Amino acid sequence: MPMQVLINLFIGVIWMFLQDDWSVLTFFSGYLFGLLVLFILRRYFPTKFYLITLLAIVQLFFVFIYELFTSSILVIQQVIAPKINITPGIFTLETELEGDLEVTLLALLLTLTPGSVVVEVSPDNRRFYIHAMDIPKSSDAVLQSTAKFEKAIKKVTRA
């Protein structure tokens, strides 16, 4: 993917040289032309077309923002309740992700959502031990979030 981005930027700069116009609009048109060239030549690259990966990263970001807001609402409901009735605890979560990058990304995303913290990852990277603020509600929310995060992470990291 980084090689494709560099090639696309190079095509944009060459386009500016050939047009003899040093403006942002000329570079942008050259960049779009470079996207077309890279899309046509995509079968010759070992990785998938980088624009697809970029769109998957944006989709992962929006999934995270959605889960952040929904879990924040859950935590706010618990905090503003007249009587705090929570059952904190640790539960185990199985994952299908492979590799250090995928597992680390999932652990960070789960930790960044309010109400849960990844305490430990098993040595085989298959199980997370997660501390939840309220076991019945938070653990269900974390399980639903995990399914969405895993799907989005797989789109980003796998070809």
Query: What's the whole-number mean pLDDT along residues 108-123?
Result: 90
Residue with tokens 């990291």: 157
R_g over Cα of the chain: 22
Q: Kindly list the distances between the CA atom of residue 33 and the CA atoms of 4, 44, 119, 122, in Å, as whole numbers in the listed order.
A: 13, 18, 48, 47
Q: Is the same domain home to 111 and 134? A: yes
Q: Is the same domain home to 33 and 68? A: no
Q: Is the same domain home to 149 and 71? A: yes
Q: Kindly list the distances between the CA atom of residue 145 and the CA atoms of 21, 32, 139, 153, in Å, as whole numbers in the listed order.
A: 49, 36, 10, 12
What DSSP element (H or E) covers 121?
strand 116-121
Q: Is the same domain home to 20 and 64? A: no
What pLDDT is stored for residue 59 in this prediction?
96
- CA 67, 73, 78, 80: dihedral to nearest 10 degrees? 160
Q: Could you give the count of Cα atoms lying within 13 Å of 121 in the half-sphere of its Cβ?
A: 18
Q: Is the same domain home to 36 and 110? A: no
Q: Could you list the residue range(s) of the whole structural domain that residue 147 is in? A: 56-157
Q: Is the same domain home to 65 and 40? A: no
pLDDT band, very low/low/confident/very high, at 159 (cuts 50, 70, 90)? low
Q: How many domains does the chain have?
A: 2
Structure-block tokens of residue 136? 């019945």
What pLDDT is stored for residue 115 in this prediction?
84
